[in-house]
Amino acid sequence: MRTIIGLAICFSTLLHLGCGQQTAEIPAVEINTVFNEAGLPTTELNVPGLHCEACQARATELLETADGVEDFNIDLSSKTVIIAYNTDSFDNDSLIKIFNDGNFPEALIVVKSVGKSSSPLEVIEEPTAEEAN
């Protein structure tokens, strides 16, 4: 019985703390109802470390500081981020570095568009079965 109570306390503590990246309060995340209204090129980022709202808030902070990122959509359920970017100032390698330095070491560019958002997509790297989980 003590073991069950102890496990319940540990589990509720983990749920409360999130991923440990939370500093004080999670900032409110502005919800953009229309993604990429300007029809900019997009790239998709696979971020296996996106687990909770604290992770989403951290990813939002990182994306807001990244050069050339004009709009983004974070999907926690698929652990992906779709980014609309300005071709003059955006760099995939810089984006990966920002995520890696920001406690998302397994971030990976999966798909990059070759034109506007309606253009065909080019697969850059396919995630392995381990990375997809």
Token pair listed for 4: 């069950």
pLDDT of residue 18: 54
Contact of 46 with 92, CB cutoff 8 Å: no
pLDDT of residue 86: 92
Q: What's the whole-model pTM score?
A: 0.63
pLDDT of residue 47: 93
Q: Which of 89, 88, 3, 99 is nearest to 44 (CA)?
A: 99
Task: Give the confidence band of 50 by pLDDT, cuts at 50, 70, 90.
Answer: very high
- Give the C-alpha separation, 102 to 98, whole Å: 6
Residue 44 three-state SS? strand
Q: Which of 81, 32, 82, 35 is nearest to 55 (CA)?
A: 81
Domains of the chain, CATH where assigned:
39-132 (3.30.70.100)
pLDDT of residue 122: 43
